[in-house]
Structure 1
Amino acid sequence: MSVREADVIVVGAGLSGLVAAREVLKAGREPLVLEANDRVGGRILTEEPVPGVFLELGAQWIGDTHHRMAALAAELGIALYQQFEDGDTSYEFGGRVLRGDAFHAAYADDLEHVERVLRELDAMAETVDVAAPWLAPKADEWDRITVGQWYDAQGLSPLGRELIEICTVGILAVPTVEVSLLGLLVNVVTCGVTADLLSESEGGAQTKRFVGGTGQIPQRLADELGERVVLSSPVMSIDVSGDVVTVTCRGGLVATGKQAIVALAPTLAGRIMYDPPLPGVRDQLTQRMPQASAHKSFILYDEPFWRDEGLNAQLISDAGPARMSNDSCMPEETGGPGIILAFLEGENARVEGRWPEEQRQAALREEMARHFGPRAAKPELIVEGGWVEREWTRGCYNANPGPCGWIHFGASLSEPVGPIKWAATETALQWSGYMEGAVDAGERAAREVLADLG
């Protein structure tokens, strides 16, 4: 058994935990970060299957209003480049493939009705306080129905209903029958997603990427912390006795401190043993916030041929296996292969994501050909990454409570339990579910422990 001491023990070396530890260190206190995995980054994971080609199996973009992330990247010396969006999007509904203006002209009335539904969501969200959504005037009513039920009652055409489902699942990564209407409105308040729900790049959420890969950010934060980051140390228990917090890891490492920050998704935080036990309402919350389902497939070609054909590599499809895609190439000035990123989210991740690789990739090639021509059926390489099987993540992008989750248990999401504070993007008040939210949550948790330390 080995023993380490610090002022603040941080559980989890994802972006939120590393930011929290960095803030603690900057304030003159000693952090110690314990990470279950053999790498840092959590839901950020960059792979380089071809030299100079960086594929983001995890978090990939920041948006125009992600000021914390932009500032952090600049501070760490990581440049940004613009997401490619020029050209037409390809739409596939009812076996018919249409591009750009042709689709909008053919289904103008359907799209206008979808737009009205989105504006109604915006108006409803204005009544929700993100710091206490359970206190919204209609919180009880909205948290007792699912997003899917509410969509079904809006009189949308079959195409409009399917389109709004695809776009919503593209944000939440779970079917809309699993998330309460209040839960979606919380996302609207923290991210403003409905205003850009039909935008091919999710509006302000996916406008810029990191030159050299997103994975540089957690790695450089960890490098700053040095030996204060300990990998391959899954936390088994957190005990509080008097003013001492004792954290015990599998493998024998024991860490003691005055405060602890658990920077894990709620369901993973709930798998740690606590002594004394957590309040029942907090434990009940963690039982009701499952990880979402997402699977990424990167399809590589010798060049981004679709750009010369006036396409942006974005598709929206009711057939699948991918419901959405986009251009995921390296910066134009560096050249490199053409890369289309196909998203399998929610039910598609759970179904097609479990198909044998050969079957799934054959279906993806066929889908690419339907949208981008016969050349798209012959990629040079396909690289895939699902998150459900990753032992220390068990899903992406984030977690969403089901019906009655917010009104009954939401107040315990970020409420400290004595010296134990909670981080991770799910606890953020701005851009929850994104890297921006992870930074927001890490900074807030750091402020809480520093206040308690005096």
Structure 2
Amino acid sequence: MAPQEADVLIVGAGLSGLIAARTVLAAGLTPLILEADTRVGGRILTEELGGLPVELGAQWIGDTHHRMFALAAELGVQTYPQYDDGETSYELAGTGVLRGNEFHSRFGDELAELEKVLRRLDELAAEVSPATPWTAPHAAEWDAITAGAWYDAQGLSPAARTLLEICTVGILAVPTVEVSFLHLLFTIQTCGVTSELFAESEGGAQTTRFVGGTAEIPNRLAALISEHIVFESPVQLIEYGTDSVVVHCRGGRTATGKRVIVALSPMLAGRIGYDPPLSGYRDQLTQRMPNSAAMKAFFIYDEPFWRSDGLNGQLISDIGPARMSNDTCVLGDDRGVILLFLEGEQARTHTQWSEEDRRAALTAELVRHFGDRAARPLHYLDGEWGSRQWTRGCYNANCGPLVWTTYGPALAEPIGPIHWASTDTATEWSAYMEGAVEAGERAAREVIEALTA
């Protein structure tokens, strides 16, 4: 098989890789994307259930995700607002199931204390540079403890502490005892403030969806550069010199170029062989940035019956199996769709269950919160990310204690002709699609500057 040639080789056809390829092409350079899977999108995955698009991967953008709004408009993908009318259903700290108004009335003082903690997080995060978090004045102190330990020290009531844990795990998809406090502050700073992370209403990170499904974005991007994408080409080895690279794929495919952008999560990038080997410094980093654990489960009903009961389809529970849910009905369709999230320990545990047992447990949870009609769905589908060969986890990579301050500079710094791009390397909205676009643009700029200077 003759080697393929391009100016810039790109490993991975996720959003970062696609954006990098298009940016490189617009600068007059030739890209070639080598994708291990049979599809584009990476951690974006839209599947069909009962004739409706359901998002097993990335689903929302928020009001300040300006790159994604611009990209959707350019590609002709329409958007619509996330449904948010009505009360949330709570089940925390032994309260039983409470509707939102009752929960807030009963725990008003505790929630006021929680709000103070969130404001304190915003104040501390403001001291962290998204580009160099290890340089924060208290970086050594913050990186030596976990986010969970800091939360525990705030004197919150059990209900407030549990609510804070659930909301944070909903973002990071790992327990807070596994994440350094500095990493939590970094995440907050890349996204603005805590209200933009945790809110689904105006200003939050989950306010807007895509008509036709999120996969419309990578699919339409890929259609524009289809001749520059090769599928079923898992990269096994990258040989590199000062200004040249040779990429070897499983099955014997090779490609040569002047630069390579590895548009994979740090952990997956670390599983590729490099010749000469990368420094131990870089390798130690990728060993310490595992992908998180997430599962999504969808129930489709004949109608969104919870809305007539004054509920918004959202639940927050410390009993589970799911910790949170969402009304994820599709615009223009009368059927009701509930999405349940299992993240962190819940995903790790319940992926080991049979689908029958998992569905039964989730159904029982929905019945507790939304009544007996929840037991009669038309369709069910769930999907977990750790078992997916070319992803091995979702939504993002997280740093445990002492990773940022010890190895942080290695995350996005190019090594010779090798550049890094994934949402995990972003300095704006890291771990989101917005961050994936920012990272792809940044890596492409590095390559363009190097090859056109």
Q: Determine if contact 1:2/1:252 at 8 Å carries over to the other structure.
A: no
* Structure 2 Cα separation of the partners of residues 45 and 271 of structure 1: 23
> CA shift at 1:221, angstroms?
1.1
> CA shift at 1:276, angstroms?
1.2
* Structure 2 Cα separation of the partners of residues 209 and 199 of structure 1: 15
Partner of 2:322: 322
2:348 maps to amino acid: R
* Structure 1 Cα separation of the partners of residues 347 and 143 of structure 2: 26
Identity of aligned residues (%): 64
* Structure 2 Cα separation of the partners of residues 422 and 350 of structure 1: 28
Q: Determine if contact 2:125/2:186 at 8 Å carries over to the other structure.
A: yes
Partner of 1:141: 141
TM-superposition CA deviations, 1:110-147 (whole Å, max 9, x none):
11111111111111011111111101000000000000
Q: Which runs of 5 or more structure 1 residues have no equivalent in the other structure? A: none
Partner of 1:70: 69
Partner of 1:298: 298
- Aligned runs of 1:93-172 on 2, under 5 Å? 93=92, 94-172=94-172
TM-superposition CA deviations, 1:31-80 (whole Å, max 9, x none):
000000111110000011222x1001100000100010001011111000
* Structure 2 Cα separation of the partners of residues 364 and 379 of structure 1: 12
Partner of 1:271: 271
TM-superposition CA deviations, 1:199-254 (whole Å, max 9, x none):
35595210100000111111111111122100000000111134221000001110
* Structure 1 Cα separation of the partners of residues 145 and 182 of structure 2: 8
* Structure 1 Cα separation of the partners of residues 395 and 198 of structure 2: 19
TM-superposition CA deviations, 1:380-439 (whole Å, max 9, x none):
111101001000000000000100000000111100001110000001110000000000
2:97 is paired with a residue whose SS is: strand
Q: Which runs of 5 or more structure 2 residues have no equivalent in the other structure? A: none
- Aligned runs of 1:217-296 on 2, under 5 Å? 217-296=217-296
Tell me whether 1:5 sits opposite 2:12 in the alignment.
no
> CA shift at 1:101, angstroms?
1.2
Partner of 1:59: 58
Name whichever of 388-397 and 377-386 sits farther off: 377-386
Partner of 2:182: 182
TM-superposition CA deviations, 1:267-302 (whole Å, max 9, x none):
000000111111221111100000000000011101
- Aligned runs of 1:333-352 on 2, under 5 Å? 334-352=332-350
> CA shift at 1:190, angstroms?
0.4
1:74 is paired with a residue whose SS is: helix
Partner of 2:50: 50
Residue 426 of structure 2: which of 420, 423, 428 is its match? Answer: 428
Q: Determine if contact 1:187/1:193 at 8 Å carries over to the other structure.
A: no
Q: Determine if contact 1:81/1:211 at 8 Å carries over to the other structure.
A: yes
TM-superposition CA deviations, 1:315-343 (whole Å, max 9, x none):
00010000000110111xx1242000000
* Structure 1 Cα separation of the partners of residues 173 and 58 of structure 2: 13
* Structure 2 Cα separation of the partners of residues 202 and 37 of structure 1: 36
Q: 1:198 to 1:444 in 2, by over 3 A?
A: closer
1:222 is paired with a residue whose SS is: helix
* Structure 1 Cα separation of the partners of residues 343 and 201 of structure 2: 16
* Structure 2 Cα separation of the partners of residues 336 and 280 of structure 1: 55
1:448 is paired with a residue whose SS is: helix
Normalising by structure 1, report the TM-score.
0.98
Q: Determine if contact 1:193/1:202 at 8 Å carries over to the other structure.
A: no
1:180 maps to amino acid: S
1:382 is paired with a residue whose SS is: strand
2:204 maps to amino acid: G
Partner of 1:371: 369
> CA shift at 1:84, angstroms?
0.3
Tell me whether 1:450 sits opposite 2:448 in the alignment.
yes
Q: Determine if contact 2:200/2:206 at 8 Å carries over to the other structure.
A: no
* Structure 1 Cα separation of the partners of residues 166 and 97 of structure 2: 16
* Structure 2 Cα separation of the partners of residues 384 and 203 of structure 1: 29
Name whichever of 115-124 and 194-203 sits farther off: 194-203
> CA shift at 1:195, angstroms?
2.4
Normalising by structure 2, report the TM-score.
0.98
Q: Determine if contact 2:200/2:207 at 8 Å carries over to the other structure.
A: no
Q: 1:193 to 1:123 in 2, by over 3 A?
A: closer
> CA shift at 1:192, angstroms?
2.7
2:292 maps to amino acid: A
Q: 1:328 to 1:370 in 2, by over 3 A?
A: same
Name whichever of 348-357 and 385-394 sits farther off: 348-357
CA RMSD for the aligned pairs?
A: 1.1
> CA shift at 1:24, angstroms?
0.3
Q: Determine if contact 1:13/1:34 at 8 Å carries over to the other structure.
A: yes
* Structure 1 Cα separation of the partners of residues 197 and 367 of structure 2: 26
Paired residues, number: 451
2:225 is paired with a residue whose SS is: helix
1:204 is paired with a residue whose SS is: coil
2:106 maps to amino acid: A
* Structure 2 Cα separation of the partners of residues 192 and 114 of structure 1: 18
Q: Determine if contact 2:114/2:160 at 8 Å carries over to the other structure.
A: yes
Name whichever of 295-304 and 191-200 sits farther off: 191-200
> CA shift at 1:159, angstroms?
1.1
Runs of 4 or more off by more than 4 Å in structure 1?
A: 200-203
Partner of 1:396: 394
1:111 is paired with a residue whose SS is: helix
Name whichever of 186-195 and 206-215 sits farther off: 186-195
* Structure 1 Cα separation of the partners of residues 128 and 212 of structure 2: 39
TM-superposition CA deviations, 1:356-402 (whole Å, max 9, x none):
11111111111101111111121111110100100000000000010
